[in-house]
Amino acid sequence: MILQLRTLAELSEFITSQKQKKRTIGFVPTMGFLHKGHMSLINLAKESCDIVIASIYVNPSQFNDSSDFDNYPKDEQKDLELLSNNFCDAVFIPTQLEIESIPNVRVDLGTLGDVMEGRSRPGHFEGVVEIVHRLFKAVSPHKAFFGNKDYQQLLVVKKMADSCSLSIEIIGASIVREPSGLAMSSRNVRLSKDIRNKAGFIYETLSKTNLFNIKESRAFLTDNEFELEYLEIHSFGDDKRLFVAGLLDGVRLIDNVKVN
């Protein structure tokens, strides 16, 4: 079974011993209820780091909707098995009290914090910055891995690491999809079986959308009972992407694709 670290003292002892052995540490922060998307991050981390640590912590401060927090799925036993089977070396599972003992930080996200998820979920990115900064301080990894599904979160974390002069390489990994095309997410379990099987239409629509047919795509998503929050193209540096968010069957889903 995987090594479980439940206090900051246990974590610190483990990290110190690994660093004394000059091992590079890869870190995969998660909120649990792990799936193949998370395992792709563990496997990517294993390719370039000597040791991989995951964390499981459902961070209350990043939920702008308390029922989303209350209904967030949990299965620690299954998570531990998946991590062990994928040769993750250790998992940090802190309590809220331990996490909150680590000093907090606030970062000015500029316009990045005002669009899409920043606009739809007030306070969400402040909560993400807070927890990821605290976890980075506790784990002090060489590299940290995040999924491209939450692409704006990846950019927020990069900006935070930069603003706080943390020497941690932040790596984004390709989106892993269910057979239907639906981007993997812990929340997918809350979709009914029928709707989950049909939910690939969101990715299919993204793949067919361009600057000229974006209005038609919005209408198509809405006609298919997707309560659309946004379907927007944004450029970050050279990277141009089409982003979508909305509710399907009462479950909030996000996705994005690269636009050429």
Residues 6+ apart with CB under 8 A from 56: 30, 31, 32, 76, 79, 91, 92, 93
- From the CB of 124, what's the least distance to ligand PAF, in Å? 9
Task: Using the minimum distance from each CB to ligand PAF, give the nearer residue, 61 or 217.
Answer: 61
Nearer to ligand PAF, 59 or 205 (CB): 59
Task: With CB under 6 A as the rule, give the number of residues binding ligand PAF.
Answer: 10
Q: Using the rule CB under 6 A, is 88 a contact of ligand PAF?
A: no
Is 44 a binding residue for ligand PAF by CB under 6 A? The answer is no
Exactly one of 25, 30, 113, 145 binds ligand PAF (CB under 6 A); that residue is: 30
Selected from 54, 131, 199, 253, the binder of ligand PAF by CB under 6 A is 131
β-partners of residue 12 are none
Strand partners, 232: 243
Q: In angstroms, what is the minimal distance from the CB of 220 to ligand PAF? A: 28
29 belongs to the binding site for ligand PAF (CB under 6 A): yes
Does residue number 128 form part of the binding site for ligand PAF (CB under 6 A)? Answer: yes
What is the distance between the alpha carbons of residues 93 and 152, in angstroms, rounded to a whole number? 25
State the Cα–Cα distance between residues 156 and 141, nearest whole angstrom: 18
Host H or E run for residue 53:
strand 51-56
Q: Are 31 and 59 a contacting pair, CB within 8 Å?
A: yes
Least gap, CB of 61 to ligand PAF (angstroms)? 9
Task: Specify the stretch interacting with ligand PAF by CB under 6 A; choose among 14-22, 128-136, 159-167, 208-216.
Answer: 128-136
From residue 58 to residue 77, the character string flagging contacts with ligand PAF as x (rule: CB under 6 A) and all else as - is: -x--x---------------
Q: CB–CB of 33/189 below 8 Å?
A: yes
Minimum distance between the CB of residue 62 and ligand PAF, rounded to whole angstroms? 6
Which tokens hold the place of 97? 């009290």
Among 132, 182, 184, 254, binds ligand PAF (CB under 6 A): 132
Residue with tokens 């984004």: 172
Does residue number 91 form part of the binding site for ligand PAF (CB under 6 A)?
no
The length of the chain is 260
- Rule CB under 6 A: say whether 173 interacts with ligand PAF: no
Q: Is the dihedral of CA 104, 115, 56, 13 positive or negative?
A: negative
- Smallest gap from residue 147 Cβ to ligand PAF (A): 7
For ligand PAF, which is the closer residue by CB, 150 or 229?
A: 150
Q: Binding to ligand PAF by residue 150, rule CB under 6 A?
A: yes
Q: Decide: 257 and 241 in contact? Cβ < 8 Å.
A: yes
Contact 125, 118 (CB under 8 A): yes
Alpha helices (runs of H) in 174-228, residue ranges in sequence order: 193-198, 201-208, 214-223
Catalytic residues: 38
Q: Which residues bind ligand PAF (CB under 6 A)?
A: 29-31, 59, 62, 128, 131-132, 150, 153
